[in-house]
Amino acid sequence: MWKFIVRRMLTTFPQLILLSVIIFLMAQAMPGDALTGLVDPNVDRAAIEEQREKLGLNDPWHIKYADWVSGLLQGDLGQSFRYKMDVTDLIEQRLINTFWLAVATLLFTYIIALPLGILSGRYNDTLLDSSITGYTYIGFATPLFIFALVMLWVFGYQLQWFPTGGSVAPGLEAGSMDYILSKVNHLLLPALSMALIQTVSTVQYLRSEIVDTKQKEFVVTARAKGASETRVYNRHIFRNSLLPIAAYFSYEITLLITGTIFVERIFSYPGMGQLFLDSIVQRDFSVVTAVVLLFGLAAILGALVSDIILSIIDPRIRIK
């Protein structure tokens, strides 16, 4: 298994390099550079040119790329034009916020998907199954941003069960119990909104996989041993049905990224998604680049994690 994991990790390097090249080229293609907007338009052009030379802005691309990558490795993501601060500092808190939002969403996604998928698959073609698949069809058909708005209106404004914006109530001391509870409270509604919509594909996958697996011959073998139906499902069908769910995990991560962009906007939740939209609107390109880079990184890591999970569940992958 270790051999597989090491090999799988090695393959992420070329992916990372490719990602960085693409993002670097993207950044290069964007109009302006570090000096644009910083200098007074009345300054002499020659002086600007001299400045550019000094800053290395006229270097050939591969030197600029090397500089950029070595900066990245030291945690230097450049300067935000808008906020006049290091992108790293700008992103830090938002990254943490988005991270917890994503974790909560994933948690809800699987808390909803596992029981629904299992029930629906085990009792397929019953009323219960029809209601669950009915829900998944509604989930497929409903756009996330409309659903999130409805949730916000119902639970935030009408019922007032949840806060309607921000990531924590103001005036609380960081690290205190109240602070943490407030953070969680702010997370719940956006995470739940996202999870309720995103979980439907996992429910569907799990359902069809269970329907498939329960016709396999080894399930008959288990029954012939005298295993009860509950045991047959828990020991034999469930684990074998998890394989595609694990494979789907990496896609789940990319869904999550697009999800946060909408949801953070709607709930005014200060995270990466909101930052991303803001900086596009404000043409804060160094921030856009940094956010895209992190999103790309998340997707690559998601794929890595999903393959490692697969190798743990499935011995056939391990040995290869």
Partner 1 sequence: MTQKLLEIKNLKTSFRIGDEYYAAVDDVSLTLNKNEVLGIVGESGSGKSALAFSIMGLHTRAKMEGNILFNGKDIVNISPAQLNQLRGDEMAMIFQDPLTALNPLMEIGAQISETLILHRPEMSQKERKDRVIELLTMVGIPRPEYVYEQFPHELSGGMRQRVIIAIAIANRPELLIADEPTTALDVTNQAQILDLIRKLKNDMGSGVILITHDLGVVAEMADRVAVMYAGQIVEIADVFTLFENPKHPYTRSLLTSVPAEGQDKLLVIQGIVPSLQHLPREGCRFAERIPWLDSSAHEEDPVLHEIEPGHFVRCTCYKHFHFQDEAKEAQVHGDTRSK
Partner 2 sequence: MVILEVNNLKVYFPIKAGIFNRTVNHIKAVDDVSFSIEQGKTYGLVGESGSGKTTTGRAVMGLENITAGTIIFDGKDITKKQSKTKDVRRNIQMIFQDPYSSLNPRKRVKDIIAEPLRNFENLSKQEEKKRVQELLELVGLSPESILKYPHEFSGGQRQRIGIARAIALKPKLIIADEPVSALDVSVQAQVLNFMRDIQKELGLTYIFISHDLGIVKHMCDDIAIMYKGRYVEQGTKEEIFNYPQHIYTKRLVSAIPDTEPGNREKRFKFRQDIQKEFEESYDDYFDSDGLAYSLKPVSDTHLVALPEKG
Q: Does 46 bind partner 2 (CB under 8 A)?
A: no
In the complex with partner 1, which residue's Cβ is closer, 183 or 214? 214
**By CB under 8 A, which span of 11-19, 153-161, 211-219, 299-307 interacts with partner 1?**
211-219
The Cα–Cα gap between 270 and 256 comes to 16
Cβ neighbours, 10 Å, residue 280: 13
The Cα–Cα gap between 90 and 271 comes to 10
Q: Does 14 bind partner 2 (CB under 8 A)?
A: no
- Backbone dihedral region for residue 41 (phi beyond 0: left; psi -120 to 50: alpha; all else: beta): alpha
**By CB under 8 A, which span of 25-33, 129-137, 265-273, 311-319 interacts with partner 1?**
311-319
The Cα–Cα gap between 105 and 269 comes to 14
Binding-site residue total for partner 1 (CB under 8 A)?
A: 23
Q: Does 245 bind partner 1 (CB under 8 A)?
A: no
1, 3, 37, 220: which one binds partner 2 (CB under 8 A): 3
Q: In the complex, what is the shortest distance from the CB of residue 1 to partner 1, in angstroms, rounded to a whole number?
A: 12
Closest CA to 85 of 297, 287, 229: 287
The Cα–Cα gap between 140 and 290 comes to 31
Q: In the complex, what is the shortest distance from the CB of residue 8 to partner 2, in angstroms, rounded to a whole number?
A: 10
Q: Does 217 bind partner 1 (CB under 8 A)?
A: yes
The Cα–Cα gap between 80 and 90 comes to 8
6, 46, 127, 224: which one binds partner 1 (CB under 8 A): 224
Q: Which does 224 bind (CB under 5 to 8 A by kind): partner 2, partner 1, none?
A: partner 1
